Amino acid sequence: MAAACARTIGKVGWNILESPACRAGNIASLVPRVSLHGSSRAYGTGVAGFRSKLLFTPLRVGRVLGCAYLVGGGLGLYQTIQLSVQHHLAEEEGKAYSDGDLKLTLYQYKTCPFCSKVRAFLDYHRLPYEIVEVNPVMRKEIKWSIYRKVPILMVNDDVQLNDSSVIISALKTQLISKETISEILRCYPEMKAVNEKGKEVTEFNNKYWVMVNEAEGQTMYPEKDSRKEEIKWRKWADDWLVHLISPNVYRTTGEALASFDYIVREGKFGTYEGFFAKYVGAAAMFVISKRLKSRHNLQDDVRQDLYKAVNDWVAAIGKKKFMGGDQPNLADLAVYGILRVMEGLEAWDDMMENTKVKSWYRCMEKATQSHEDHN
């Protein structure tokens, strides 16, 4: 419609300019009830003055009106084309998202629980992604980023998602709503705060919320309070469960060495960095784990806190296959992602042997499969 109006205005202007009346100076016949008496006016710009005559003759008025219509039509057509191009690009972007054709690049440490959470989500939803393993010492792979933590997820090379819970919530929102990631990201504003140590930290509002409308929410959360439970256990995983990992995998000097052997083997270290990380890092983390035990008020035998946390989780699931029912929800994926970083270590073996988590854990393994199977 806007394009048609622009073309019409342009046509009117051209007709005025080309009309016999305009050429003859009788513009009054084309534009009725307009006074066309000639006049002159002088404008001064100083003592000497500068005088310029504007002769409003019928012929000139006709040409001015014609030009005005042409210019107006041209500007209108330009704006219409510009809006059409923007609309087309938006549609193409939306189509790419709706078709699931997202290019995802995950910057991570493989053994980081928060990175493992994101991989569990991506694997479960069969979203192809590339991995960039970040060197934990130099972190040159993310030197381009102001945000210096991992995970970082780049979407289509131009949208950066930070924080594991924001990444998961934003992607889940996109899968359901089909909105663009850029639009969705506005729902999770970044905020700066100062923690109890006086250090500035970055937090994200609404990071445990999937931003869907009422109808979509009822489909995603059919049972009463299921959304509230999902948010509760996702927060529990970040605020409590994840803090039990380090004290347990670095519980003794032997376990600390075994853990760092695994970290060096799976991570991105140079030869000397790997040697330094394994022995110096293991010793440092053994000491730090004791501080973490004190900070989080853990028992002397930190295994007992791990066992209790895992059994509390299993009890909350109850007789269901997953917290989400027949299919894992975001809490299932978060807890599984955190626990699996201990695989191959003594802490994981003890957990599987001394808790009731095995059945649920095996189901989660099957549900997520491996990155390589579908990437």
Looking at 97, 107, 112, 250, which residue is catalytic?
112
Whole-Å CA distances, 293 to 2, 231, 250: 68, 26, 11
Looking at 22, 115, 129, 269, which residue is catalytic?
115
Backbone Cα Rg of the chain: 33
Q: In the annotation, is 67 catalytic?
A: no
Identify the three-state secondary structure at position 182: helix
- Provide the residue count of the chain: 375
Q: How far apart are alpha carbons 232 and 313 in whole angstroms? A: 11
Looking at 69, 97, 107, 109, which residue is catalytic?
109
Q: Residue 159's closest CA among 104, 211, 118?
A: 104
Q: In the annotation, is 112 catalytic?
A: yes
Pair 338, 245: CB distance under 8 Å = yes
Q: In the annotation, is 109 catalytic?
A: yes
Q: In the annotation, is 147 catalytic?
A: no
Give strand pairing partners of 202. Answer: 192
Cα dihedral across residues 120, 258, 361, 367: positive or negative: positive
Q: What residue type is assigned to position 131 of the chain?
A: I
Q: What angle do CA 104, 105, 111 make, to 5 degrees?
A: 125
Pair 205, 188: CB distance under 8 Å = yes
Alpha helices (runs of H) in the chain, residue ranges in sequence order: 2-18, 20-24, 58-98, 113-124, 164-177, 181-185, 214-220, 226-239, 245-249, 253-266, 271-276, 282-295, 302-317, 330-339, 346-354, 358-368
Active site residues: 109, 112, 114-115
